[in-house]
Amino acid sequence: MSRDADDTVIIRRARQKWPMIPVLVALGCVVVAGMGGLIWMRLATSPLSLPLIPAATEAELRAESPTTRTVLRFALNPAILVMDFPTLAEQGEMLNRIAAWEERAGVPRDHLLADAELDVAIRAGGSTSETYYYGHDYSAAEIARFFAHADLEHIALNPRERELRALVSRAAAEPQGFGALITLPRADAANQVDASSRAAILHHELSHGEYFTNPVFARSIKTIWDSVLTASERSSFRTYLATEGYDSGIEDLMMNETQAYLMHTPDPRFFDPSRLGIATERLTQIKKSFLAAMPAGWLRDETTIASAP
């Protein structure tokens, strides 16, 4: 998530598909995660003597105010890890490199950015390392690919990135497995995040986590994207998301971000549907179609169209 010049807060995420053969070679072995048949390629040996990562509900996560980095599983879908940062600086240090590689326009997709290159890319977009993103979300496979490329390219990972590697390896070794990681910052003035903003970031990112770990949900989104939205409406979403820095050529990304913004980000500070150029009545119809196709579960239970534009 980043903040535009007009003070609209944008939640940003994307994903880029990469060939799997070199990744499998680099990672060496494959572990089947417990949720939805997801594949987790182990990155390192996890110390099994550590206590299991605890779980928390969305309400409990909203109420968190961490003074140190915390990691919890989402209680209603434990394959989703939620990493809570006390500062945006710490979050950026751990995740900005993978964020740049996975989605940002103007950043090469064939190799990772070195530290100096990353700094240039961040500043070129008018951001700082702290404000580059306010919330992150990645599938287990994306994180595996990132570390595989880092190994192949001999990238010197910083201490926070090495901590991330150990964390996801530990999570993958636990009985509940690892399917997705989402992050958010503590609500305070230093982070430019209040309690309402934090809640909006969390729910948006949790919807991405569900998309990554629930293939039935992901298929329902694709069905609506392909068969309910017209070509012109898909183009409208692509254009909107491109203006926020997303790679509009990645179809999976466009579907995932469309569902997260339209269905799970009602806060007008984060998403202004009038910018789509689609009539209010038609947007309501689209939202009804998304909701009707959504499988039973926690996300559907918490989704209404009362806030439809």
Tokens of 97: 């490199």
Q: Which residues, 6+ apart, have CB-to-CB distance to 255 below 8 Å?
A: 221, 222, 225
Exposed, middle or buried: residue 293 (CB in 10 Å: 0-12, 13-18, 19+)? middle
CB 185 within 8 A of CB 193: yes
What 8-state DSSP symbol labels residue 97? H
Pairing state of beta strands 77-85 and 70-74? Answer: antiparallel
pLDDT the model gives residue 300: 97
| Cα–Cα distance measured from residue 206 to residue 201, given in angstroms and rounded to the nearest whole number | 9
Q: Output the DSSP codes for 196-256.
A: HHHHHHHHHHHHHHHHHH-HHHHHHHHHHHHHTS-HHHHHHHHHHHHHTT--TT-HHHHHH
CA dihedral 185, 100, 75, 299 (to 10 degrees): 100
CA dihedral 260, 215, 33, 21 (to 10 degrees): -90
Tokens of 150: 């880092």
Strands (E), 24-152: 31-32, 39-40, 55-56, 70-74, 77-85, 136-139
For the beta sheet containing 77-85, the strands, ordered from the edge strand earlier in sequence to the opposite edge, are 55-56, 70-74, 77-85, 180-185, 136-139
Taking the CB of residue 149, how many other CB atoms lie within 10 A of it?
A: 19
Stated pTM of the model = 0.84
Phi and psi dihedrals of 46, rounded to 5?
A: -95, 135
Instruction: Please list the pLDDT of the chain residue by residue as tens digits (309 residues).
Output: 444 434 444 455 434 333 333 333 344 433 333 343 343 444 444 455 689 999 999 999 999 999 999 999 999 999 999 999 999 999 999 999 999 998 887 788 889 999 999 999 999 878 899 998 899 999 999 999 999 999 999 999 999 999 999 999 999 999 999 999 999 999 999 898 999 999 999 999 999 999 999 999 999 999 999 999 999 999 999 999 988 878 888 899 999 999 999 999 988 888 999 999 999 999 999 999 999 999 999 999 999 885 433
